[in-house]
Structure 1
Amino acid sequence: MALRNMRVWRYLEEVARVGSVRQAAERLHLTPSALLRRIQDVESDLGAALFERTSSGVQLTAAGEIFIAWIKNHNAELRRVYSQIEALSGLRRGEIRIAVSQAVARSFLLEEMRAFRAQHPLVKMTVDVCDHATAMRQLLAYEADLILVFRPPHAAELQPLMSIGQGLVAVMAHDHPLATKPRLRLRDCLMYDLALPNADHAGRQLIDQVLAGGSLQPKPVIESNAFDLLVDMVRGTDIISFQVDIGAALWRQDPGLCVRALEEADGAYGPLVLGQLKGRTLPLPAARFGEQLARRLDERRSLPMDELAAHAQRQTKVRESEDVD
C-alpha cells in the first residue's frame, strides 16, 4: 500500500510546498482538477480537510500539518529500507542529500564528493548550498540527510557528527595596503569599503556580533549571498571581503588575491558542524558519506596552516588537469 500511495503523497507535498494547487499541478504535469480530485480522495479517507483556501492559494490545516509530517517521516523510513535492501549487494546505488554552507561547497565538499563517487559512481548526490538556518530547516523536514554548516542554529534535534573550529579570514587584492601584515585586526579592515555576505549568512552574523556596541561599524559597498561575486569585487580595489578559513582554500592559490587571518583577540571564530537529525537512522550511502566527511574534518583539525595551503594547491592542480583532459 505504501509504494502505491507514494505518488499521491508526492502530490500532497508539492501542494504544501508551493501553496497553490494550480502551480503544483503545473510542476507535476497534471491538470488542476485531477490534482484536486486526488486531494479530495485522501481527505475523504482521513475524514478531515488537509488544505484551506487563502487569498493567495492554499495552506495546510492542522490535520494537514500532521499528515504531511507523517508523509515526510514515512518517506525517510522507506528510503532507509531501500538502502538496506541495496546494502545486501554492497553500496551500489542510493541518494545522499546534503545542505551545506557556501564556504565548504566548492573546496572541501567538492573534493570529498569526487573521492566518494570514485568508489561509488552510481550513488546520486543532491547538494543544496544555502545559509545555516535553511540547512537546519531542511534537516528537520527530512529534506536533507546531512548538513555541513558554519555556526548552525541551536536545536535539540541536531546530532553533531564532527565539529571543528573556524576563524574568519580577510580576502583582499594582492597589493592591498593591509596585505603586508601577517594577521589583521577587524578594526583595521573597517577602515576600508567592504563586500559582505547578507544578513542570512553565519559569517555576516558573526561580524555583526563582534562589532555590536562598538564605535566602528562596517561600510559594505556590496552585499550578496554569492561569495564568488563578493571576492571578485575585491580584485584590483581596496575593498575587503571575509570568509571562514576552510572556504578560502582556493583563493589562497590565486595570485591576484591575498588571504589574511584575523587576530584571535577579535573573537571572530565559530564551529563548522557536520550533523544529522538526532535519532534518525540514515540511509547507508548518507551514513557512509557522513563517516568519510567526519574523518576528513578530523584530519584537517590536526594539520598546520602551511600543510593545508599546500594541500589546497595540489587539489587545484588536479582539477586543472582534469579540465584539460
Structure 2
Amino acid sequence: MLHSARLRYLDAIVRRGSIRAAASELNVASSAVNRQLLALEERIGAPLFERLPRGIKLTAVGEIVIEHVRATLKDEARVMARIGALRGSQRGAVTIAVTPGLADGPMPEIISQFIGARPSTKVGLSAMRTDQIASAVVNGEVDLGLGYYMLPNPALLSLMTLPTEFGVVVAPSHPLAGRKQVRFSHLLEHKLVLTEPGSSLRQTIDRALLQRGISLRPDVETNSIETLKRLVAGGDWATLLNPFDASIECRSGRLVFKRLEGGKLSGQLLCLVARAGASANPLVNLFVEELRTALPLSASFMDAG
C-alpha cells in the first residue's frame, strides 16, 4: 500500500461511526485503531472527533482531514489500477453513483458484461439522488456519476450526455398497449401513477403538459420507481417514464413502452461525469466506453409507433 494505515483507519472510523466498528471491519484491535487516531491528532495538532456519550462526531478540522484522506485513497486506487492495466491484468475497481431508476434498470446488466470480460475487476455501484451524485464525484467518493440534469460545475468533467424521451408505460394486457398511437388525453381514461412532484422526471412531464394545456391528476404518486412499475405490471395502471427506468421490464416483455403521438417528447438529459482533474485511470476509461456503447442499446426496445 502506498499510504499510511492511519488514513485507512480514519476513513473506517468515519464510515462505521465508531472505533470499535472500524476495528472490526479492519480486523485489528480497537486499541490499535485508537493509537493511530491519537497519533494522527497529535501530528495535526487538533482533535479530529468530538467524543460524545453516544458516539463520535467529526470536528471542523476532522471534516477537512477526511476530505483529504478520501481523495488520497481514491488516488491510490487509481494508481494501482493504472499499474494493473500496464501489466495487462486489468485488476482494480471502478466506482459509480447513479439514480435509483438506473440502478434497478440497465446498470446491473452493463456491470455484468463489463466484469464478465474482466474477471479481476470490481465495480462499486451506489444509488443516489442527482444532487448527491454530483457531491460524491466532487468529493472523490466515486469515480463516476450518472444522473439527469447535472448542473454546470467546474469541479465536474462531462464525459457523455444522452438525450432521452419519455413515453407511456403499461402492461401488455392494458388497453393502451394495443393502440398504434397514444395521446396524453388517453391517459385521462385510465388509472394513472406518476413519480412524486419535484422529481426530475415529474418536472419534465409537467412542463410538457403545461405546454399542451393538459392537466393530469394521478391517482397515485410515489418516490419509488420500483413501486410504480409493480403497480403498472398489475395490468390496470399507466405511467410516464423514460426508457432507461423501464428498460429491463420492457425488453423482457413484462411492460410496454409507447411513444406519445406528436413525435419525440424531450425527456431528461442523462449525464455521465467524473471529477475534473482526477488522475487518468485506464480501467475507468474502459468502463466509460462500455457505458457509451451499452446505454443507447438498453433503450433500443422503444416502440416505434
The alpha-carbon distance between structure 1 residues 32 and 262, as it changes in their structure 2 partners (threshold 3 A), is: farther
Once residues 39 and 224 of structure 1 are traced to their aligned partners in structure 2, the CA distance between those partners, rounded to angstroms, is 41
Residue type at the aligned position of 2:241: Q
Match in the other structure for 2:301? 309
The alpha-carbon distance between structure 1 residues 224 and 270, as it changes in their structure 2 partners (threshold 3 A), is: closer
Mapped pair 1:161 → 2:153: no
Which residues of 2 match residues 281-296 of structure 1 at below 5 A?
281-296=279-294
Once residues 292 and 237 of structure 1 are traced to their aligned partners in structure 2, the CA distance between those partners, rounded to angstroms, is 35
Structure 2 residue aligned with 1:66, among 48, 64, 67?
64
Once residues 198 and 21 of structure 2 are traced to their aligned partners in structure 1, the CA distance between those partners, rounded to angstroms, is 27
Match in the other structure for 2:259? 261
- Give, in angstroms, the shift of residue 165 of structure 1: 0.6
Cα deviations across residues 17-44 of structure 1 (Å, max 9, x unaligned)? Answer: 4555555555555666654443222111
Match in the other structure for 1:152? 150
Structure 1 residue aligned with 2:95, among 97, 104, 107?
97
Match in the other structure for 1:126? 124
Once residues 201 and 284 of structure 1 are traced to their aligned partners in structure 2, the CA distance between those partners, rounded to angstroms, is 34
Structure 2 residue aligned with 1:143, among 141, 144, 149?
141
Residue type at the aligned position of 1:121: P
Cα deviations across residues 160-189 of structure 1 (Å, max 9, x unaligned)? Answer: 111111011221122333334344444543
Residue type at the aligned position of 2:204: L
Cα RMSD of the aligned pairs, angstroms, is: 3.5
Once residues 30 and 209 of structure 1 are traced to their aligned partners in structure 2, the CA distance between those partners, rounded to angstroms, is 55
Q: Is the 8 A contact 2:85 2:283 kept in 1?
A: no
The alpha-carbon distance between structure 1 residues 200 and 90, as it changes in their structure 2 partners (threshold 3 A), is: farther
Cα deviations across residues 35-77 of structure 1 (Å, max 9, x unaligned)? Answer: 4443222111110111224576433222112211111121122
TM-score of the superposition, structure 1-length normalised?
Answer: 0.76
Match in the other structure for 2:172? 174
Once residues 11 and 38 of structure 2 are traced to their aligned partners in structure 1, the CA distance between those partners, rounded to angstroms, is 14
Q: Is the 8 A contact 1:131 1:201 kept in 2?
A: no
Q: Is the 8 A contact 1:190 1:219 kept in 2?
A: no
Match in the other structure for 1:84? 82
Q: Secondary structure at the match of 1:194?
A: strand
Once residues 37 and 102 of structure 1 are traced to their aligned partners in structure 2, the CA distance between those partners, rounded to angstroms, is 40
The gaps in structure 1 that reach 5 residues or longer are 311-325
Once residues 157 and 218 of structure 2 are traced to their aligned partners in structure 1, the CA distance between those partners, rounded to angstroms, is 37
Structure 2 residue aligned with 1:9, among 7, 10, 13?
7
Residue type at the aligned position of 2:218: K
Match in the other structure for 2:246? 248
Q: How many residues align?
A: 301
More helix by share: 1
The gaps in structure 2 that reach 5 residues or longer are none
Cα deviations across residues 305-325 of structure 1 (Å, max 9, x unaligned)? Answer: 8xx229xxxxxxxxxxxxxxx
Segment drifting more, 72-81 vs 213-222: 213-222
- Give, in angstroms, the shift of residue 122 of structure 1: 0.8
Q: Secondary structure at the match of 1:230?
A: helix
Once residues 90 and 179 of structure 1 are traced to their aligned partners in structure 2, the CA distance between those partners, rounded to angstroms, is 49
